[in-house]
Amino acid sequence: MIADPAEQTSSEVPLAELSAVSRDYLKAIWSAGEWSTAKVTTSSLAEQLDVAPSTVSTNLRRLAERGLVIHQPYGGVRLTGSGTSAALAIIRRQRLFETFLVQEMGYGWHEVHDDATALASAASDRLIDYLDDRLGYPTRDPHGDPIPDPDGAVAPMTLISLSTCTTGDRGVITRIDDSDPAMLEYFDRVDLTLDQLVTVGATRPFAGTMSVSTEDGPTDIVLGDVAARSIWITRCDRT
């Protein structure tokens, strides 16, 4: 999510000064714009954070007073420059801890979210730097989401949603939406994981399903539209 250049000059807010609720909102607003161009609104945030729209309005007003977000009734919610910096620092922490839990602690990729959030909010900057070094400076988390660097830079990724593919399209699974643990668990069960080359077989738009086959693993996995929308691929040439 890009803030107006004029807003980039606003001063940075130390993460330690932000409440857990503020962090959740900044993370949610930034994430909402990461893989979608849809406008972020009070109601979309209420749904995402599972709270009442009136609660969202109150919290957005507080964040706006601190210069972290701009909320225009018909223009949606945007992060300011300092809101973006804070959000990227929060996202970096979250994704480093997700990586740590999977890589070092043996968590499943569907189990990491809550513990990573708790650890990310408790960790000092020093621990985050140490963790980054210990993990070998990872650029992606276990779901393929980019990990912002210490300066908040995010490596650009050009991905397409599997749901937009047709029969014969091929691509490498590069990111899987991590918002639904049950879906991640399902992908585990059918052996779909990151960095697999998949080819789209039959598509059945009337039923909202498609079949995909992997290069060396399972074939003819039937995915519904919601599942296909969760998988993002780096496109390869058609077969």
Interface with Zn ion (CB under 5 A): 98, 141, 143, 145, 178
**Which amino acid belongs to residue 9?**
T
Q: Which is nearer to Zn ion, 41 or 230 (CB)?
A: 230
Q: Which is nearer to Zn ion, 145 or 169 (CB)?
A: 145
Distance of closest approach, residue 143 Cβ to Zn ion, in angstroms:
4
Q: Which is nearer to Zn ion, 110 or 143 (CB)?
A: 143
Q: Which of 104, 96, 88, 98 is nearest to 131 (CA)?
A: 96
Distance of closest approach, residue 95 Cβ to Zn ion, in angstroms:
6
Q: Which of 182, 178, 228 is nearest to 203 (CA)?
A: 228
Q: Which is nearer to Zn ion, 169 or 177 (CB)?
A: 177
Buried residues in 194-224 as b, exposed as e (16+ CB within 10 A):
bebbbbbeebeeeeeebbbebeeeeeebebe
Distance of closest approach, residue 177 Cβ to Zn ion, in angstroms:
9
Q: Which is nearer to Zn ion, 7 or 180 (CB)?
A: 180
CB 40 within 8 A of CB 78: yes
Distance of closest approach, residue 232 Cβ to Zn ion, in angstroms:
12
> Dihedral of CA 223/157/18/71: which sign?
negative
Distance of closest approach, residue 48 Cβ to Zn ion, in angstroms:
15
CB 213 within 8 A of CB 219: yes
Buried residues in 165-185 as b, exposed as e (16+ CB within 10 A):
beeebbbebbbbbbeeeebbe
Q: Which residue of the chain is nearest Zn ion when measured via CB? A: 143
Q: Which is nearer to Zn ion, 24 or 98 (CB)?
A: 98
CB 236 within 8 A of CB 170: yes
The count of C-alpha atoms lying within 13 angstroms of the C-alpha of 46, restricted to the half-sphere facing its C-beta, is 12
Distance of closest approach, residue 221 Cβ to Zn ion, in angstroms:
22
